[in-house]
Amino acid sequence: MGNAVKVPFLDLAGQYRALEGEITEAIGKVCSQAHFILGPEVQQFEKDFANFLGGEFAAGVASGTDALALALRALNIGSGDEVLVPANSFIASALAVLLAGSRPVLVDVDPRTHLIDLEDAERRLTERTRVIMPVHLYGRCVDMTALGEFAARNGLSVVEDAAQAHGAKWEGRSAGTFGDYGCFSFYPGKNLGAFGDGGAVVAQSEKAIARIRSLRNYGSEVKYYHPEVGTNSRLDGVQAAVLSVKLRRLSEWNMARSRLAGRYTRALSPLRELGLELPEMPAAEQHVFHIYAVQHAKRDKLLAHLHSNGVQAQIHYPIPIHLQEGYRFLGFGEGDFPVTESIAKKVFSLPLFPEMTEEQQDTVIETLHQGLLSLCD
């Protein structure tokens, strides 16, 4: 039993090899024309990405975190305002609210979907609540009909964290196109990943996106004129060129992820008898399976077994936002978000990436099966 990797968590080098010719050519063009920041490649990618999502406007920014923070700033959210954020998310969802100068109010999640629970959100409303931030976690689109009604009823703006959900849909419409703003990350490991950091904000109107374009570029639309403060958060030409090549494969990659997720669920279903909990499989287009998250009460033992057998499973996320040391000042504590806390103790993510072979997947399934059986010894 060695530690040699048999199944990686994802294989970005393999993905690069398959696209190497196209990508080097696209990068070469940016370099030879010296369009390093914003420029025609970024404009083209913004158009293509908006089209991919269904005809909205997009603005490239420096990261998913910045996308969220800029969207909040564009809504004039700031000091004294509160933003509802699910407790079960990556840290950046809450961090972005702090970067915008306002207060993240965490909300527990639904035990079935692991997504924001609107009943709990209702309990956490105050006069200062201005925005709700649904996170389409693991690549699964939140029920945006219910969320939109909740927001309208309570006079809230909606900023979607779609950092894990490029191409996920709710009733035929793309995640990121429902809210006042939709925010995406192109961190390399996301379903659509750059060769470094990158992000995008999506909006429904030219006016809403113009505000993002100004904020990302020192509060300026005309060079050296600054009607507002803004920041520096732009997408690089090289990243946009890479993203344009990859965007053409995104639908196909998302389908491969869905197919592999379905195959996991079929193969792992009998293991429910051994205490394994599987993700619910919603309508095919709703979930783009950025992550295939399962649960087990003896997660740490299973994970150790997977790792010692060369299967790179991970945990998303081991410590919930409200229990992170740097976030204690928010005033939440143990017991405040029982569903999120239970998930954090039991959840782990199996390797899943578009290039994954059935043979690799079978190795994961067999290793997990062995691990579950050894728990019974």
Of all residues in the shown chain, the one whose CB is closest to ligand PLP is: 64
- Least separation, in Å, of the C-beta of 124 and ligand PLP? 19
* 3-class DSSP string for 248-278: CCHHHHHHHHHHHHHHHHHHHHHHHHHCCEC
Helix (H, G, I), strand (E, B) or coil at 7: strand
Place of tokens 């005033």: 331
Place of tokens 């100004």: 214
181 belongs to the binding site for ligand PLP (CB under 6 A): no
Q: Which stretch binds ligand PLP (CB under 6 A): 17-25, 87-95, 255-263, 360-368?
A: 87-95
Size of the site for ligand PLP (CB under 6 A): 15
134 belongs to the binding site for ligand PLP (CB under 6 A): no
- Least separation, in Å, of the C-beta of 91 and ligand PLP? 8
- Least separation, in Å, of the C-beta of 109 and ligand PLP? 13
Contact 311, 7 (CB under 8 A): yes
Contact 202, 213 (CB under 8 A): no
93 belongs to the binding site for ligand PLP (CB under 6 A): yes
- Least separation, in Å, of the C-beta of 95 and ligand PLP? 8
64 belongs to the binding site for ligand PLP (CB under 6 A): yes
69 belongs to the binding site for ligand PLP (CB under 6 A): no
Dist CA 42 CA 240 (whole Å) = 5
DSSP 323-362: GSGGGGGG---TTSSHHHHHHHHHEEEE---TT--HHHHH
Name which of 84 and 302 has its Cβ closer to ligand PLP. Answer: 84
- Least separation, in Å, of the C-beta of 272 and ligand PLP? 27
Name which of 167 and 371 has its Cβ closer to ligand PLP. Answer: 167
- Least separation, in Å, of the C-beta of 292 and ligand PLP? 15
104 belongs to the binding site for ligand PLP (CB under 6 A): no
User: For the packed helices 91-99 and 64-74, what is the interaxial angle rounded to 10 degrees?
Assistant: 40
Alpha helices in the chain (DSSP H): 12-33, 40-53, 64-74, 91-99, 118-123, 144-153, 206-216, 237-247, 250-268, 299-308, 338-346, 358-376
65 belongs to the binding site for ligand PLP (CB under 6 A): yes
Q: Figure out which of the listed residues 199, 237, 279, 371 binds ligand PLP, where binding follows CB under 6 A.
A: 199
Residues that bind ligand PLP (CB under 6 A): 63-65, 89-90, 92-93, 135, 161, 163-164, 185, 187, 197, 199
